[in-house]
Amino acid sequence: MPFLHRQATSIENGQVRVTVLHEGGHVAEILHKETGVNPLWIPPWESIEPSAYDAAAHPEYGSSIESKLLAGIVGHNLCLDLFGPPSPQEAQAGIGVHGESSVVRYEVTGDERQISLSARLPLSALTVRRVVTLAEEGTTVHFSETVENLLSVDRAIAWTQHVTLGPPFLQGGSTRFWIPASRSRVYGPPGFGDSALVAGAEFNWPFAPLTTGGEADLRTFSSSPRSAGYTAHLMDPQRTDAYFAAYSPAGKILFGYRWKREDFPWLGMWEENRSRSAPPWNGETVACGMEFGVSPFPETRRQTVERGRLFGTPCYRWLAARERVTVEYSAFIHRIEEEDVKGAAMEHMPED
């Protein structure tokens, strides 16, 4: 695995292994041991520690504002307190895409069943602590995440779990998705890269309008040789729990996350299917982000605040002066025969 030379800590039982990286705190794998399938995205480029990144020494990661993040990104990373790019002034001050939380070094402790990661974000004046727990038996991974505002003023923040799926779990025209969305919108205008979806269009899950006419069914990952896109989905306000689930027929694996809707009312679906030609993407990257959080779109802080609400729902959350907030969520992974997948999905994503 490209990340194995990085400093990491793993916990495991007889069914699942979970690996977390010390720098950036990324969840690199939730491995189903029987099948050897890790649904989380491992980029096709070499992964390095964010602290080792140097723009002049590492041109292979490109020359964009997100190059430091891309040099070390894998699997599931935390976007805090940005979801999207920094403003020019924030970038000049040292803030990168999706904030500091995906590039700082975490202090890591734990035992054979639990990993605890904690870090101070010096530029953002936040502390973050994530506890990852795996029971002695079972295939559910529990997360508890606490963010504290070190400032004496209230502030508007973004807070998104950037969960990204990749091959071999992710297969074009094959991997299927379920989410309980009530309303949806395509990114833009302007459009998102080479997306074939109508920028800014509102729609009902799962049928998004195409610029060429007709609709794309977002329940199945694109079978096109080259595609891209981003859509935002408001989780059903009639539910207490929100979730996403993905099924890969090739490995017969059902994988997903569930969380409290009041914590994270939005899910963004990001599709990258060999559309980006610049380094480090190089026209060969296949990934699908299932990014649940408090914001619908990856935008600057100012854009998020000025947008305010979408579909009557806030696009950020307030963190009061000196406030400490804890959220809990979980991931699940199972081997399921294709004919049983719908029933299994409903079992692990209970109706309210």
Task: Give the pLDDT score at 343.
Answer: 62
Cα separation, 78 vs 155, whole angstroms: 18
Is the pLDDT at 94 greater than 80, yes or no?
yes
HEC per residue, the chain: CCCCCCCEEEEECCCEEEEEECECCCEEEEEECCCCECCECCCCCCCCCHHHCCCCCCHHHCCCCCHHHHHHCCCEEEEEECECCCCHHHHHCCCCCCCHHHCCECEEEECCCEEEEEEEECCCCEEEEEEEEECCCCCEEEEEEEEEECCCCCEEEEEEEEEEECCCCCCCCCCEEECCEEEEEECCCCCCCCCCECCCCEECCCEEEECCCCEEECCECCCCCCEEEEEEEEECCCCCEEEEEEEECCCCEEEEEEEECCCCCEEEEEEEECCCCCCCCCCCCEEEEEEEECCCCCECHHHHHHHCEECCEECCEEECCCCEEEEEEEEEEEECCHHHHHHHHHHHCCCC
Task: Give the pLDDT score at 303.
Answer: 97
Domains assigned to the chain? 8-348 (2.70.98.10)
Instruction: Return the exposure string of 195-205: e unless at least 16 CB atoms fall within 10 Å of the residue's CB, then b.
Output: bbbbeebebeb
| pLDDT tens, position by position, 186-200 | 999 999 999 999 999
Four-point Cα dihedral 296, 347, 142, 253, nearest 10 = -80
Is the pLDDT at 3 greater than 70, yes or no?
no
Structure confidence at residue 236 as a pLDDT band (50, 70, 90): very high
Structure confidence at residue 5 as a pLDDT band (50, 70, 90): confident
Q: Which of 53, 40, 50 is nearest to 7 (CA)?
A: 50
Structure confidence at residue 273 as a pLDDT band (50, 70, 90): very high
Is the pLDDT at 124 greater than 90, yes or no?
yes
Cα separation, 25 vs 34, whole angstroms: 26
Is the pLDDT at 202 greater than 80, yes or no?
yes
Span of 95-99, 125-129, 286-290, 347-351 with lowest mean pLDDT: 347-351
Task: Give the pLDDT score at 345.
Answer: 57
Task: Give the pLDDT score at 113.
Answer: 94
Mean pLDDT of 57-85: 97
Is the pLDDT at 341 greater than 60, yes or no?
yes
Amino acid at 89: Q
Length of the chain: 352
Is the pLDDT at 204 greater than 60, yes or no?
yes
Task: Give the pLDDT score at 186.
Answer: 98
Tokens of 24: 């950036």
Mean pLDDT of 55-73: 96
Task: Give the pLDDT score at 2.
Answer: 60
Mean pLDDT of 126-151: 97
Is the pLDDT at 346 greater than 70, yes or no?
no
Q: What angle do CA 146, 133, 48 make, to 5 degrees?
A: 75
Query: In which region does residue 262 sit, left (phi positive, over 0), alpha (psi from -120 to 50) or beta (all else)?
Result: alpha
Task: Give the pLDDT score at 350.
Answer: 47
Q: Are 256 and 292 in contact (CB under 8 A)?
A: no
Q: Which of 327, 267, 318 is nearest to 296 (CA)?
A: 267
Mean pLDDT of 138-163: 98
Mean pLDDT of 55-60: 96
Is the pLDDT at 339 greater than 90, yes or no?
no
Mean pLDDT of 195-207: 98
Task: Give the pLDDT score at 352.
Answer: 38
Measuring CA to CA, how many Å separate 221 from each of 128, 231, 298?
33, 13, 21
The bridge status of strand 126-134 relative to strand 324-335 is: unpaired
Query: In which region does residue 99 sit, left (phi positive, over 0), alpha (psi from -120 to 50) or beta (all else)?
Result: left
Q: What is the mean pLDDT of the chain?
A: 95
